[in-house]
Amino acid sequence: MCGIVGAIAGRDVVPMLTEGLKRLEYRGYDSAGIAVLNGAIRRVRRVGRVAEMESAVRAEDLKGIVGIAHTRWATHGGVTEPNAHPHMSGDQVAVVHNGIIENHEEQRARLKALGYEFESQTDTEVVAHLIHHYFRETRDLFAATRRAVADLHGAYALGVVALDEPHVMTGARMGCPLVIGLGDGENYLASDVSAVIAQTRRVMYLEDGDVAALERGRVRVVDRAGCPVERREHLSELSADAVDLGPYRHYMQKEIHEQPRAIADTIEGVVDGGVDIDGLFGAGATALFRDAEAVLILASGTSFYAGLVARHWIEAIAAVPCGVELGHEYRYRETIPNPRQLVVTISQSGETLDTMEALKRAKALGHDRTLSICNVRESAIPRASRLAFYTRAGAEIGVASTKAFTTQLVALFTLTMALAKARGKLSAGGESDLIEQLRFVPGSVQHALNLEPQVQAWAERFAVRDHALFLGRGVHYPIALEGALKLKEISYIHAEAYPAGELKHGPLALVDAAMPVVVIAPNDALLEKVKSNMQEVRARGGEIYVFADLDSHFAPSEGVHVIRTPRHAGWLSPIVHAIPVQLLAYHTALRRGTDVDKPRNLAKAVTVE
């Protein structure tokens, strides 16, 4: 949500800032802007896409060796050029900002009393004026930034430049991700590694409360107490090619088709080495899992649906009570803490604000048995957790999560096996059987991908509809939820999901010939129940679209359309059935002409409430 990139170098930084913004487009935004130092602070801002800003930059022949750039997703104030970043204080200071300043009204009143005038409706302009105020006193941008952030309450990642100190760029972080890229005689600032990966793979992650000063040849960092600190340098595993489209039309399409490899990479350790609990999850995991009285999963969005699937696995296989809560609800709810409970957070980015705050809340209540399942190494949530399991989905650019979801599922199944083994619920033979099931998942997913032409034919029918229902039972109900979410996210078709048994308790009133009903119907113990629910739909004139297994013995008939995925995958069936609902959403959106990778009003990394 929003994106920051900055650079200080001995060459023109405008091309690398523009390229960095393009690589951050996936995060979601509605305006873009850039500011560089070149005898003055020169700024270009445009509502719309980065390409529009880029054209204006070329027209104005913008150049500079120090600069900051931003893609904005509107929170305070409408989508207008005056509200776009960077924001300036006079002609002296320019600021880009991700996050929300909670006390901006108080600071705005204070700054107005000091004589500052405001040109925007944003909370960010407060930051620019505060830094300018302290810079007039200190004549030191690093000191001014430190003093300004001490006055701020809320979440922020900042990039700052000042006309009178052109050899320095500052950054600050609280609650929103910020990374420093380390180059040869030049350094970079970004909200995401992908923005600087074309320039360097050497990165340094800032911690909450850090303020940094970047010069061409050095980086200084102080913590929230103002003490100098050294943040460890990492070599990013992300490659520039990982964020290129290649032969695909959209990132979502690319990422759907990358799932066999992403899943295979994520389960490689357990398939090759067995359930080595400490090796997979971290030192001390075996004892922690053995003594856990319950599991609490905290997540949001698609990750929450992954947790709902895992609840079935954990309770049935590991025999451990499991609860699943939305992070943004849990953090504000009075709960009964259980220090012997394992708290599991799930986040693709590792920076999801509501999940991070839920983790902080759990720890404040005495939960020190924490585990993060995440796709981004060294991100905030894993760093704040005692244990971590990293999925290996690679960069996911499309806003609608696909390969992150399926790799989270295999990670959660691995956790289930580890819990069962640590608690003596999994024999050696049982472990081998479950690992063998995991081994076949990438191939089953590839077989499901081969159904794409059939799903495309369904998408033509869905593209002219305004509403849809998704039904599932048991462990497949969360896949119905995920299918409905994907369809509404990128095609803008209103879609709802229900446990199939809930139909007669209200949703059946919605069913008519204009309401397509998607049914997840694998060959499991609830299949006959699902068939009964389908008959209820047909009796009301509803048209049914069934995702079944090869061995489900469904036959297409009038008003009943059937696509068969590979043979029933047992416990891992939800992973296989996630593929066709992703394809259905993608091809329906394609037919409707929506922006598949950047759906309206949404952002990839949700770093504000």
Report, as residue numbers or ranges, the catalytic residues: 2, 604
Q: What is the DSSP string of 260-308?
A: HHHHHHHHHHHHHH---HHHHH-TTHHHHHHH-SEEEEEE-HHHHHHHH
- The strand pair at 211-214 and 219-222 is best described as antiparallel
Contact 69, 20 (CB under 8 A): yes
- The strand pair at 66-72 and 3-8 is best described as antiparallel
Q: What is the edge-to-edge ordering of all strands in the sheet holding 211-214?
A: 87-89, 93-101, 154-162, 169-174, 211-214, 219-222
Residue 324 φ then ψ, to 5°? -130, 125
Buried b (16+ CB within 10 A) or exposed e, 62-99: bebbbbbbbbbbbebbeeeeebbbbbbbeebbbbbbbb
Tokens of 134: 């302290």
- The torsion defined by the Cα of 101, 107, 109 and 111, in degrees rounded to 10, comes to -120
β strands within 109-240, DSSP E? 154-162, 169-174, 179-182, 187-190, 202-205, 211-214, 219-222, 233-235
CA 529 to chain centre: 35
- CA-CA distance, 542 to 433, in Å (whole number)? 40
- SS3 per residue for 337-385: CCCCEEEEEEECCCCCHHHHHHHHHHHHCCCCCEEEEECCCCCHHHHCC
Name the CA radius of gyration of the chain, rounded.
25
Helix H or strand E encompassing 536: helix 527-539
Q: In the structure, how many helices (H) and strands (E) does the chain have?
A: 20, 24
